[in-house]
Amino acid sequence: MNKPQSSGAGSGSDIILIGCVKTKRDHGAPAKDLYVSDYFFKMRAYAEATGRPWFILSAEHGLVRPDEWLEPYERYLVDTPRGYRRAWGQKVAAQLEQAVGPLSGLAIEIHAGAAYVECMDEPLRSLGAWPIDELHGLSFGHRLAWYLRRQAARPDWHDPVAALRDPANARTLTEVMATNGLGLRAPGMYSWWVDEGGAADLTAGLRHQVDAGVIYAGLAGATRSGGSTSSNTLWGRIATMHLSKKHDFSTLRRSLGSVLAHAYEQPTRGSSPGGCMRICKSSRFPLQAPTRSTPWKPPSSASLIHH
């Protein structure tokens, strides 16, 4: 299995793993706060900025969630026997699969010393994952510079509306589907765009002028009103819901199908008041779901923002 190419900005990875460091607080704390070196701060900031699930590699405990409570400990992986390191790598791979599900096809970005990467490479590959070592061979100084460059180049998502409307962030459907979910199995926001032809079809169906550009924005993965966290990802929302074989899975698709059914004077079946409200609330025709014969066209491109 070949290692996938990555842009170095977390865009080609699904999960981020960062190594522990020697410098720790002298009292217990959540794992993300236990390690206090400047190097760890940079790794943590990078991992958090990607919006991907991330974990800490502890020489003592194996895989650790950022919020997991840890007491200070003294163990450095490079000082442990070879047998311990081999068992540690297998343990971490098993813990990761237990935490996130099957690893097959996932790209795992590892930010840690060579000993950590070497211990995990074979166990991860045996489970079908792709280990990525962005900093392979870099000196400590060059590693620090790597994080500083990415921090300086990080997009500003303080205005998500502007980001979702920026054509520079748009990808064609071919580009999105060609990833096979690589780098998109994470929470985020997204928008669907239509080109001139799609806008003309929507205009005809709605009897209302629709211009080329953004027609829909959505959120994948969020905290529900009850406090629980959704497990939805960008890939799940786009590939499984919006582009699945069953149109009923997507209110967007049902809405577009209803509009296009009227544009092409095709029959519709069943009522779905909630399903068409987003883009059809100003239309003059009944809000209905399309039949299988309705000529459905997906939007031409999408913009994606990772949390």
Encoded amino acid at 94, one letter: A
Query: How confident is the chain (307 residues) per 10-residue block, as mean pLDDT?
Result: 39 85 93 92 90 94 96 94 96 96 93 94 95 90 86 63 78 78 73 86 89 86 66 79 74 83 73 32 27 42 54
Q: How far apart are CA 170 and CA 137, in angstroms?
A: 34
Number of domains in the chain: 2
Residue 168 belongs to what domain range?
160-306
Per the CB < 8 A criterion, the answer to whether 253 and 217 are in contact is no
Regarding whether 178 and 145 lie in a shared domain, the answer is: no
Instruction: Please report the sign of the dihedral spanned by the C-alpha atoms of residue 199, residue 299, residue 278, residue 245.
Output: positive
250: region left, alpha or beta (phi > 0 left; psi from -120 to 50 alpha): beta
- Domain assignment present for residue 9? The answer is no
- Domain assignment present for residue 53? The answer is yes
pLDDT at residue number 5: 36
pLDDT at residue number 183: 62
The phi and psi torsions of 68 (rounded to 5 degrees) equal -70, 135
Regarding whether 201 and 137 lie in a shared domain, the answer is: no
Q: How far apart are CA 255 and CA 270, in angstroms?
A: 12
Residue with token string 């039949």: 291
- Domain assignment present for residue 23? The answer is yes
Q: Where among 153, 170, 205 does a domain terminate?
A: 153
pLDDT at residue number 258: 84
Regarding whether 93 and 149 lie in a shared domain, the answer is: yes
pLDDT at residue number 237: 82
3-state helix, strand, coil in the chain (%, to 5): 40, 20, 40
pLDDT at residue number 255: 84
Q: How many CB atoms lie within 10 A of CB 30?
A: 13
Encoded amino acid at 34, one letter: L
- Domain assignment present for residue 3? The answer is no
Regarding whether 130 and 191 lie in a shared domain, the answer is: no
Regarding whether 136 and 211 lie in a shared domain, the answer is: no
pLDDT at residue number 263: 83
pLDDT at residue number 253: 82
Regarding whether 166 and 102 lie in a shared domain, the answer is: no
Regarding whether 302 and 164 lie in a shared domain, the answer is: yes
Q: How far apart are CA 33 and CA 68, in angstroms?
A: 10
68: region left, alpha or beta (phi > 0 left; psi from -120 to 50 alpha): beta
pLDDT at residue number 111: 96
- Domain assignment present for residue 186? The answer is yes
pLDDT at residue number 304: 55
Regarding whether 74 and 91 lie in a shared domain, the answer is: yes
Length in residues, the chain: 307
- Domain assignment present for residue 4? The answer is no
Per the CB < 8 A criterion, the answer to whether 126 and 86 are in contact is no
Q: Where among 153, 183, 206 does a domain terminate?
A: 153
pLDDT at residue number 280: 29
Q: What is the pTM of this model?
A: 0.53
- Domain assignment present for residue 298? The answer is yes
Q: Is 299 exposed, middle or buried (0-12, 13-18, 19+ CB in 10 A)?
A: buried
Regarding whether 219 and 124 lie in a shared domain, the answer is: no
Nearest CA among 179, 196, 279 for reference residue 238: 179
Regarding whether 50 and 121 lie in a shared domain, the answer is: yes
Regarding whether 301 and 172 lie in a shared domain, the answer is: yes
Q: Where among 153, 180, 204 does a domain terminate?
A: 153
- Domain assignment present for residue 209? The answer is yes
Regarding whether 297 and 166 lie in a shared domain, the answer is: yes
pLDDT at residue number 299: 60
